[in-house]
Amino acid sequence: MKALLKFYNKNMLDFTVYRSAIFFEKEVLNFTKKLLHGENTYGTFTYGGTESIMLAVLSARNYFWKQRGKNVVPEVLAPFTIHPSFAKAAHYLGMKIRHFDIDEKLKADVESLKESVSDKTALIAVSAPNWPFGTIDPVREIADVAVDEGTPLHVDACLGGFILPFFEKLGERVELFDFRVDGVTSISADLHKYGYTPKGASTVLFRSAELKKESMFVDVQNPGYVFVNPAVLSSRSVGPLASAFAVVKFLGEEGYLRLSKSVLEAREAILKGLKPLGFKSVAPVESPILSLFNSDVDLLSFTLAMRGMGWHFHLQREVEKYSIPMNIHLTLSPIHRETAGEFVADAGKVAEKSRVKRSLAEILPVESILEDLTSGRIDSSIAPLLVDMFDPKTVEEFVKDIVIKLYGD
């Protein structure tokens, strides 16, 4: 906190003035590079995972244009489970995103990828792990396709970049996803997730200086000053960077190993405790994410009742195409090692009372949903189910109306 406050009013825009920003960024990036086996890569510190991903997509687009010209709309090819920030980046950058299938383990399907690659593909993107189900995509197999096609491959490790390497060191089996895999050209990893730094801290690493350059914006025509932006934002407080440096130095590898071990112990305790209640994982358990279903429990009632007891997690909707049942999504942190017993006990009480299944419309009448969301009576924990109640385009407008109402009054 002291580092955050001390450097909060310093601006990263002109790194020739606040040279401490260069020192902090190099130190943080060097730690990240070592963690992801990319000591010879080129990185950028950003304010969040979406910004890191946007830079990776921007780099791929510009690289594509240099190789193939601007007469084709470049495409990002990614599995169904990829984070929405890739769609957002494509939207901002005048590209298209195309999703390919996932397999029975809810991982990117390599054969579907092969069928989807085209001369319009500017970037292939996968996850380590994905957010919905916590599975790690088969990076090595996908990298083989990327190399054959001459296409950049980005690994979104925003969630896993600062914990999966420590899982591996602790003896967990972790699929290779980092720069040890030939063909991986960029990786995003968030410090403000399992790096435990204050919000506003992420990194993106590029395998080559050329790809790093393609992610930058430079304007030397302005009469005021030379405009150089390695990241999306221009003015950026040094505070989050300085605090990220402080946390990384304070914890070190030993601290991260200790915290990662606590997450593994929490995961084991919760899985073991919920199993007798009928909860099962929808996918292989490979990360700090648990996605659990229970065919004997009304998960909507369960989620709302657990929320009333002070537990916050969200409900993920059924995806019939991939035989994915409705499931609850848990993101585990070190503190959950201490609270796992209490969580399991409360889950047992609530599960017993949630055997009768009810529809969302029964619990939350359609006519009151907007009022319920804006008043806080219900929150994002059940928002995904709205997609099943309405047409997706209707939901998009509905969500925009909620934002306008929240900030308009």
Q: Write the CATH number for 223.
A: 3.40.640.10
| Residues 40 and 154 placed together within one structural domain of the fold | yes
Q: Which residues contact 289 (CB under 8 A, 6 or more apart)?
A: 129, 131, 133, 134, 159, 329, 330, 331, 332
pLDDT on residue 196: 97
pLDDT on residue 158: 98
DSSP H helices, 289-385, are 299-308, 336-352, 360-363, 369-375
If one counts every other C-beta atom within 10 angstroms of the C-beta of residue 338, the result is 12
Q: What does the DSSP 8-state code read for residue 231?
A: S
pLDDT on residue 169: 98
What's the rounded Cα separation, in Å, for the pair 184 and 332? 27
With respect to residue 343, please indicate whether it lies within any of the assigned structural domains.
no
Q: Taking every pair of C-alpha atoms in the chain, what is the biggest distance, in angstroms? A: 70
| Residues 119 and 223 placed together within one structural domain of the fold | yes
If one counts every other C-beta atom within 10 angstroms of the C-beta of residue 405, the result is 13
Q: What does the DSSP 8-state code read for residue 230?
A: S
Domain boundaries, position 110: 2-250
Contact 332, 167 (CB under 8 A): no
Q: Which residues contact 224 (CB under 8 A, 6 or more apart)?
A: none
Q: How much is the pTM?
A: 0.93
What's the rounded Cα separation, in Å, for the pair 176 and 45? 23
With respect to residue 28, please indicate whether it lies within any of the assigned structural domains.
yes
| Residues 88 and 213 placed together within one structural domain of the fold | yes
| Residues 143 and 288 placed together within one structural domain of the fold | no
| Residues 95 and 218 placed together within one structural domain of the fold | yes
Q: What does the DSSP 8-state code read for residue 334?
A: T
Contact 208, 320 (CB under 8 A): no
Contact 303, 363 (CB under 8 A): no
| Residues 246 and 382 placed together within one structural domain of the fold | no
pLDDT on residue 368: 62
Strand 186-190 and strand 42-46: pairing? unpaired
| Residues 156 and 239 placed together within one structural domain of the fold | yes
With respect to residue 299, please indicate whether it lies within any of the assigned structural domains.
yes
| Residues 321 and 238 placed together within one structural domain of the fold | no
**Count of domains observed in the chain:** 2
Contact 181, 142 (CB under 8 A): no
186 burial type by CB count under 10 A (0-12 exposed, 13-18 middle, 19+ buried): buried
In this structure, what token pair is assigned to residue 88?
């957002």
In this structure, what token pair is assigned to residue 77?
């090819």
Q: What is the mean pLDDT of each run of 10 residues along the chain (409 residues)?
A: 85 80 95 97 97 98 94 96 98 97 98 97 98 98 98 98 98 97 98 96 98 94 87 91 96 98 98 98 98 94 91 92 96 98 97 79 63 63 66 70 71
